Structure 1
Amino acid sequence: MKRLDPATLFDTLAAAHSPTTVHLSRPLDIAPDGGTAYGMAGLADLVDTMAGRLAGAGAGPGDVVAVVKENHWDSTLLAFAAVRIGAVPAPISDHLPPETLAVLLERLRPAVLVTTRAVLKAASDAGAVLRADRTLSVDGPAPGAAALAEADPGRSAPHGRGADDPLLIVHTSGTTGVPKLVPHSTTTMVRRLIGFEAHRWPVLSSRPDDTVAAATSYVHGRAFAWTASVLWLRPREVAIVADHDPASAEPFLRAHPPTTLEALPATYVRWQPMAARTDAFRRVRLYISTFDAMHPPAVRTFLNATERRRPVWMQGWGQSETGPLTFRFLTRRAVAAQGARRPTTRDLGHPVPTRTRLRVVDPQTLRPVRRGEPGLVLARTKALGLGYVGEQERWSAKVLDGWWNTEDIGERTRGGGVRVLDREVDAVPGMSCVEIEDVVDDRIPAVLECVVLRTPQGPPLPVVATEDGHLDAGEWLRAVRDLPALAPPLVMAWDELPRTGTGKVRRLELRRRLVGSPDA
């Protein structure tokens, strides 16, 4: 085939007669009558049509196209459509508050905003102005917005761009405030990230007989890279899970049992009961998790849910700014022990060979610390993004003599791996909050999520989420008897925790709600 070019990806795959069929858990929002199964020719036509509509709405080479809609794979397809005409897509989660969306769009100043009537109404109700030269609504016209389906198509011939020009703008999770906007170029996104994954690696790569499933955030840069690399390897089937609710996901997964599965950490947690009681995951040979470290019980449950003799869990760690930094393979044996004070999933493995370098330094002096000592984790990678849109000074402050400040506190292990202990803003002297969270989750089966928040005064506050919002007091006391001092737990239901579009807990928002201030 020709080289991997996001502007012509689907045309290239269609011309090469790729055998891959993409199955959707529900029709795409941009093509509600298009059904739930697509070959590459159908996807090429759809992307070409969307590119024409974006061009007809005024988007051209170098212009920003913002996409804010309900989570589905068509957010990724719209990003490829924008790339096709030389524009720069900026997919954004619709989970963000209207005021935050307004800030991001003010920084982006998009030529075209593709969104939904629900997003526009929420912004209007909140008095937030979503800035764009032209707004298109996916689900029909709205005040100030034309219907995407009625946009006059313009010219959509593939348009090239410089290797170091912006290709895609991704946003960070926003767990600590307003997300940052990170432009990536063809060099950083395609050559460094997609190109690496599109290579046929043992264990990791998609195979011709695979059913590759994803349940992720389709506005995230990870979805763009995943789509390009997986389709380039031409597996038999790709299964896209749009709605992560177990009741919706289970019938689809049973109809298209995956052999490899990548899902958000929070989605894996929600699917644990499903994995324990059904055979939907019986064929999985490879699980992949990114965005955040997993709790050991979830990894253990899914590895035991497959009939494969030697299933593998690949845990990756990275950031929107850097792409993957480390990876580690977990097996049934690695996560067999329960209740340990050093859960295996916080050991995030080794830097990606020939791709990344890591060092741990003293946060005050920036001098390297010895292995086993906690410090600030710095990374060096050629996949580093181009900056922060509208916040370049903030970006420059995080680049230290060529090293990227991850703002994570961690330590190098004896074997040369990295163990993450806390985010710098959440760190508590003398303990690791994320370690405590893993231990609690491992020791109390009813706990779906544990978040330990440092407070202005007194011991850290554990916030515990269970299915019904209740927790046995005696079980809690037994579970924390050998842990550092903690405040009495605050118990709530899973849905009460504020989350980002990638399922991460918005810790500053939770601290503001419970402690009265986002600052510790």
Structure 2
Amino acid sequence: MEFPDNHYVPLNLYTNFTKAAESNPDVKIYSDSLLPGFPEFGKETTYVEAVESIRKRAFQLIELGVVKGDKVVIFKTSRFDTYLLAVAVSYVGAIPVMVSHHLDAHIISVLSDRLEMPWLIFDEATASVALAEVVSSRVKLIELSRLVEKALKANQNYPQDFLDVDDISYITHTSGTTGIPKLIAHSANSMGWRTKWQKNVFDLIEKKKLMAFHISPVHSRFNIGISSAMAKGFPLLNISDTSEVSVERTLEKFQPYALETHPNNFVRWSSLAKMKPSIFASVKYYHSTFDAINKGTMARFLEASSDKRPVFMQVYGQSECGPMIYKFHTRDSIVALDSRDMGVGMPGLTEVRIVNEAGKEVATGESGNIQMLSKGRALTYYKENQRFADNVYDKWWDSGDYGQKNDAGNLLLFDRQIDLIESIESNLAIEDMLLDRLPFLDEVIIVRDAQGKPQPIVSIVAGETPNWDLWWELVSHMPFLNKPMIMSYDDIPRTATMKVQRLVLEGRFKEGKL
């Protein structure tokens, strides 16, 4: 597919925001929830109104003592104002550090030690962790409500300060599925290449109509998506409340043209798409963030759209490299889709190769480790340079994933390297098939039990009766699987982006807790 030749621009969050406001001042930003960091917005604002409030927050941060080069941890409720506070931090020339509100005091204390006495913005949801002795002794605290009270009175006019385009200017963290998260360091240049990738995609959208999204605001995907959408002048709808009741109410009210969320949220909302397809009737473009998703879920949302030719864009990527591989699906194309087929890289920006354990590229159709080449690759893991370097092979980054490339050059994703089970080629393929064929399943995960055997863990759709005869009929043609274990969807351990923490589940088996 040919993409327009967009001019490359390094990404400074505040500069991008204010330029978007200059070009499209009256374009709206909506939210389904009030924003504690910006109460003056209510549930809607415009690009230009938001810039003025962001500038006020920046002035107050400066008055509190934040200076160029400081690290500012943003550790609060998962809402759109998390990103807006990051934009304010970037105005100062300080470095936003985006941290999930789910993390506990031990993890926050470890990350704070790496950051060497950073500032930390917290709210009521994170106060117990922020104020814990093990954390508070390692950070300079800023209570969000007090910042807001003072910021509204601030009328100074401090100039914007800038970091070098190759300096660390934004920090996110890994999902923490394997332990203490790693801090991923990004620069204006590395983020700029990612926005170029994203703006190429947005140029394919026919109309500048409402984009709805539920993405974790601390995920590296968030600032790339929002910055790119604003640069293109799209109105935005932030969905913070992912409950089915709230999603139904929000989408019926706003009727968005495009919708993006994490794959596990699409899976969770698929029962809505099945029972009340009108909720998603306005959506022409769906966008799945960074992870694989089963084709039955995608098909259900495509069918729910009232558009003649809706599109579901599946994106595979990683926080260290940004969006990498993409594939567009329609109602017709998805029928014959292999769910493991992620698609192709974007010419000139991203590509993948498959290598063996020695790092040598393997033949087409042969499985191995997936390595990524991305112009938007992050700089390092902050204070863990060697851990980052251990995954670097010249221009290539070892993703930690396992798969192969087919004759068409498309990437087939099988599993995380660390999740491989000896008797199974792809856990994800089996999980996808079961989700596609068994409508009573809300989730299915295959992990290793205490003896290393494949153990399915499932959650059941509310109100559905499991058909175990059909389950056993399907799995009888597969490698051996243990009897499925039922677990509530909400009890399954997850990261901020709703990824299942498989190693946590396996640890519970080893400890005899499951």
TM over 0.5: yes
Partner SS state of residue 419, structure 1? strand
Is residue 66 from structure 1 mapped to residue 97 from structure 2 by the alignment? Answer: no
Q: With the length of structure 1 as denominator, give the TM-score of the two structures.
A: 0.91
- Which residue identity lines up with residue 166 of structure 2 in the other structure? D
Task: State how far apart, in whole Å, the 2-side matches of 1:322 and 1:110 are.
Answer: 28
Partner of 2:28 in structure 1? 21
Given the alignment, which residue of 234, 242, 246 partners 1:244? 242
Deviation, structure 1 residue 406: 0.5
Task: State how far apart, in whole Å, the 1-side matches of 2:369 and 2:261 are.
Answer: 28
Q: 1:206 to 1:22 in 2, by over 3 A?
A: farther
Partner of 1:474 in structure 2? 469
Task: State how far apart, in whole Å, the 1-side matches of 2:24 and 2:237 are.
Answer: 19
Deviation, structure 1 residue 454: 2.4
Aligned pairs for 1:116-195 (under 5 A) are 116-122=123-129, 128-130=134-136, 132-138=138-144, 140=145, 147-150=147-150, 153=154, 156-190=158-192, 192-195=193-196
Partner of 2:510 in structure 1? 515
The unaligned stretches of length 5 or more in structure 1 are 141-145, 338-342
Is residue 489 from structure 1 mapped to residue 461 from structure 2 by the alignment? Answer: no
Q: 1:99 to 1:308 in 2, by over 3 A?
A: same
Is residue 36 from structure 1 mapped to residue 55 from structure 2 by the alignment? Answer: no
Deviation, structure 1 residue 57: 2.0
Partner of 2:497 in structure 1? 502
Partner of 2:307 in structure 1? 308
Partner SS state of residue 249, structure 2? helix
- 8 Å Cα contact 2:19/2:231 also seen in 1: no
Partner of 1:143 in structure 2? none
Q: 1:284 to 1:88 in 2, by over 3 A?
A: same
Partner of 1:216 in structure 2? 215
Task: State how far apart, in whole Å, the 2-side matches of 1:182 and 1:493 are.
Answer: 32
Task: List per-residue Cα deviations over 1:25-74 (Å, max 9, x = no partner).
Answer: 01212123431111112101111111112212221111111101111011
- 8 Å Cα contact 1:462/1:486 also seen in 2: yes
- 8 Å Cα contact 2:197/2:323 also seen in 1: no
- 8 Å Cα contact 2:129/2:135 also seen in 1: no
Partner SS state of residue 184, structure 1? strand
Deviation, structure 1 residue 102: 1.9
Partner of 2:436 in structure 1? 442
Partner of 2:412 in structure 1? 419
Task: State how far apart, in whole Å, the 1-side matches of 2:305 and 2:107 are.
Answer: 41
- 8 Å Cα contact 1:22/1:37 also seen in 2: yes
- 8 Å Cα contact 2:449/2:509 also seen in 1: no
- Which residue identity lines up with residue 250 of structure 1 in the other structure? E
- 8 Å Cα contact 2:90/2:96 also seen in 1: yes
- 8 Å Cα contact 1:84/1:156 also seen in 2: no
Deviation, structure 1 residue 252: 1.3
Task: List per-residue Cα deviations over 1:300-353 (Å, max 9, x = no partner).
Answer: 11000001111111111111110111111111123336xxxxx62321101121
Partner of 1:98 in structure 2? 105
Q: 1:44 to 1:30 in 2, by over 3 A?
A: same
The worse-fitting range, judged by mean Cα deviation, of 46-55 and 127-136 is 127-136
Task: State how far apart, in whole Å, the 2-side matches of 1:400 and 1:40 are.
Answer: 42
Deviation, structure 1 residue 5: 4.2
The worse-fitting range, judged by mean Cα deviation, of 304-313 and 173-182 is 173-182
Aligned pairs for 1:337-416 (under 5 A) are 344-363=338-357, 365-416=358-409
Task: List per-residue Cα deviations over 1:435-479 (Å, max 9, x = no partner).
Answer: 111111112111111111124535311111113597443232112
The worse-fitting range, judged by mean Cα deviation, of 486-495 and 115-124 is 115-124
Deviation, structure 1 residue 278: 3.9
Q: With the length of structure 2 as denominator, give the TM-score of the two structures.
A: 0.92
Task: List per-residue Cα deviations over 1:342-365 (Å, max 9, x = no partner).
Answer: x623211011211123211112x2
- 8 Å Cα contact 2:190/2:378 also seen in 1: yes
Task: State how far apart, in whole Å, the 1-side matches of 2:295 and 2:395 are.
Answer: 34
Task: State how far apart, in whole Å, the 2-side matches of 1:334 and 1:355 are.
Answer: 25
Deviation, structure 1 residue 481: 1.6
Partner of 1:279 in structure 2? 278
Is residue 432 from structure 1 mapped to residue 426 from structure 2 by the alignment? Answer: yes
Deviation, structure 1 residue 502: 0.4
- 8 Å Cα contact 1:112/1:136 also seen in 2: yes
Partner of 2:197 in structure 1? 196
Aligned pairs for 1:78-89 (under 5 A) are 78-89=85-96
Q: 1:196 to 1:436 in 2, by over 3 A?
A: closer
Task: State how far apart, in whole Å, the 2-side matches of 1:72 and 1:5 are.
Answer: 21
Partner SS state of residue 99, structure 1? helix
Task: State how far apart, in whole Å, the 2-side matches of 1:178 and 1:489 are.
Answer: 29
Q: CA RMSD in A?
A: 2.3
Task: State how far apart, in whole Å, the 2-side matches of 1:424 and 1:14 are.
Answer: 44
Partner SS state of residue 9, structure 1? helix
Task: State how far apart, in whole Å, the 1-side matches of 2:279 and 2:17 are.
Answer: 30
- 8 Å Cα contact 1:449/1:464 also seen in 2: yes
Q: 1:158 to 1:198 in 2, by over 3 A?
A: farther
Q: 1:401 to 1:15 in 2, by over 3 A?
A: closer
The unaligned stretches of length 5 or more in structure 2 are 1-6
Q: 1:48 to 1:55 in 2, by over 3 A?
A: same
Deviation, structure 1 residue 173: 1.5
Task: State how far apart, in whole Å, the 2-side matches of 1:355 and 1:303 are.
Answer: 28
Q: 1:400 to 1:130 in 2, by over 3 A?
A: farther
Q: 1:423 to 1:89 in 2, by over 3 A?
A: same
Task: State how far apart, in whole Å, the 2-side matches of 1:510 and 1:255 are.
Answer: 39
- 8 Å Cα contact 1:136/1:148 also seen in 2: no
Deviation, structure 1 residue 187: 0.8
Task: State how far apart, in whole Å, the 2-side matches of 1:131 and 1:325 are.
Answer: 40
Partner of 2:4 in structure 1? none
- 8 Å Cα contact 1:30/1:74 also seen in 2: yes
Partner SS state of residue 149, structure 1? helix
Partner of 2:3 in structure 1? none
Is residue 463 from structure 1 mapped to residue 454 from structure 2 by the alignment? Answer: no
Deviation, structure 1 residue 383: 1.1
- 8 Å Cα contact 1:136/1:147 also seen in 2: yes
